[in-house]
Amino acid sequence: MEKFLSELEIDYQYSFILEKRQFDFLLTNYGVIIECDGEYWHANPKYYPVPEEWQIERIKIDQQKNELAKRNGYILIRFWEDDILNNFNNVKRIIYDLLATT
């Protein structure tokens, strides 16, 4: 993801902190936060239809981060690791579309 953002030649911040929560990327001139969610740690339902208890807690934290970003005026988008690794053209299309409308 970082390589792609660099290629876009847009300003971004890696490991952005907002109200003591860490987010993966902030596209500074767009008010967009990108989160790259690993299958295991974030319990992708495609692979973990019945998450473990600790994964459920991680899901709750992700939901809190979604609300935190929105409350602070950011647009937050999430991409699964599987999509980043295996369907990156679609990921890029989503980002291009979002940047064109923000």
Tens digits of residue pLDDT in 10-51: 999 999 999 999 999 999 999 999 999 999 999 999 999 999
Residue 95's domain is classified under what CATH number?
A: 3.40.960.10
Give the structural domain span for 65.
2-101
Tens digits of residue pLDDT in 60-78: 999 999 999 999 999 999 9
Distance CA 32, CA 21 (A): 15
Q: What is the pLDDT of residue 102?
A: 85
Residues 6+ apart with CB under 8 A from 75: 30, 31, 32, 33, 69, 98, 102
What predicted TM-score, i.e. pTM, was given to this entire model? 0.93
Does 58 score more than 90 pLDDT? yes
Distance CA 14, CA 76 (A): 14
Number of domains in the chain: 1
Contact 80, 37 (CB under 8 A): yes
